[in-house]
Amino acid sequence: MLKYETAGDPVSGLKWTRKTTAKIAEELGNMGIRVSPKTVAKLLKEMGFSLRANQKKLSRCSVSPQVRNEQFIYIAEQRQRFADQRAIVISIDTKKKELVGNFKNDGQIWTRETVAVDDHDFRSLAKGVAIPYGIYDVLANAGSVFIGTSCDTAEFAVDCLAIWYVAEGRLRYPNTREILLLADSGGSNGRTRRAWKYWLQKKFCNVFGLTVTVCHYPPGTSKWNPIEHRLFSQISKNWAGHPLVSYETVLNYIRTTTTKTGLTVSSYLNTAEYEKGQKISDKQMKELALTKHSVQPKQNYTLAQQPVLLERQYDVSCQRTGSADGELLSEQNREVIFT
């Protein structure tokens, strides 16, 4: 009966079938053998079968192992070089979007009574969407998460970097003008995003007089980006099982995330509106002070400061945040509300 319905693991010898115990019991009944589904389950276990779920094991990575390994080695070299110079090394990425409201949040908590949540997770029932853009300072073991309420765009990512630098980065590293950014290949800060490079030049390098080197992890290897396992996973553990009923709740769970290794996290709310689908022309790209590296130039490049009116550019940046520079640095809870 299971001859053509059986699969198995070549190493452990475990087997599984796509037929349910109820269906097997029914077919056995048609053959004159009366048996319950529970008995079928016991017999299947004795025969080496087991309940199995799908496992993500097959790689669809578009680059060869040799190219991927070369990039990993190069990233390690860059991280060491910047660390030796006491320059800034930060890992950046966008965490999974969350609906804000009384919705189920995966996980379990110790409580006397079950927390009741809405029976449907409809976007129309939510107070809004939380778009967590994270910045993890590798050397300081410190994270910052910006909760966006509009769209996950390249300009949004650069704005988050700019406010992080004003509120934390330049205070922590007052004597360095170089930054190494570790990023995934896709997303709002992806390697093929023209808007990401454009706004990084115009609203970050030029405004603060910085030289920024960007190294992208190869496609399909985002889990090696430090922010994934050092920051985002810890936040997920902290709010697991707790409904994210408001933006303040989201911010609170983020900034109360800690680890035994000393991780600290600050949280910010960005309510600015961002435009999707921005087009950057070839002419605008040629104006950038962008230098591609000799090793995998599509994934490694450096943007240098351009000779512009820094004061005027900086004023524009502050206007977008709705806060003056002094106000940003004086916030005790390290939150900046964008307007």
| 231 part of a folded domain | yes
Co-location of 123 and 41 in the same domain: no
**What separation, in Å, do the N-terminal and C-terminal C-alpha atoms of the chain show?**
66
Under the banding of pLDDT at 50, 70 and 90, the label for residue 59 is low
pLDDT at 10 over 80: no
Share of the chain above pLDDT 70, in %: 83
Q: Partners of 99 in the beta sheet?
A: 129
| 272 part of a folded domain | yes
Sequence-separated (6 or more) residues with CB below 8 Å from residue 45? none
**Tens of pLDDT along 71-124?**
999 999 999 999 999 999 999 999 999 999 999 999 988 888 888 999 898 989
| pLDDT given for residue 22 in this prediction | 82
CA dihedral 261, 266, 270, 276 (to 10 degrees): -20
**Tens of pLDDT along 130-164?**
999 999 999 999 999 999 999 999 999 999 999 99
Sequence-separated (6 or more) residues with CB below 8 Å from residue 86? 139, 173, 175, 176
| pLDDT given for residue 330 in this prediction | 33
| 134 part of a folded domain | yes
Co-location of 216 and 74 in the same domain: yes
- pTM score, two decimals? 0.78
Co-location of 29 and 133 in the same domain: no
| 302 part of a folded domain | yes
Co-location of 171 and 216 in the same domain: yes
| 53 part of a folded domain | no
Co-location of 232 and 117 in the same domain: yes
Co-location of 32 and 154 in the same domain: no
Please answer whether residues 180 and 302 qualify as being in contact, where contact means their C-beta atoms are separated by less than 8 angstroms: no
| pLDDT given for residue 308 in this prediction | 62
| 1 part of a folded domain | no
| pLDDT given for residue 21 in this prediction | 82
Co-location of 131 and 272 in the same domain: yes
| 54 part of a folded domain | no
Number of independent structural domains in the chain:
2
**Tens of pLDDT along 168-207?**
999 999 999 999 999 999 999 999 999 999 999 999 999 9
Angle between helix 310-321 and helix 154-164 axes, rounded to 10 deg: 100
Give the number of residues written for the chain. 339
Co-location of 156 and 285 in the same domain: yes
pLDDT at 329 over 80: no
Co-location of 18 and 130 in the same domain: no
In whole angstroms, give the CA distance from residue 149 to residue 271.
Answer: 5
Query: In terms of residue numbers, what domain contains 33?
Result: 6-46
| 135 part of a folded domain | yes
DSSP symbols for 197-222: HHHHIIIIIHHHT-EEEEEEPPTT-G
CATH number, domain at 224?
3.30.420.10
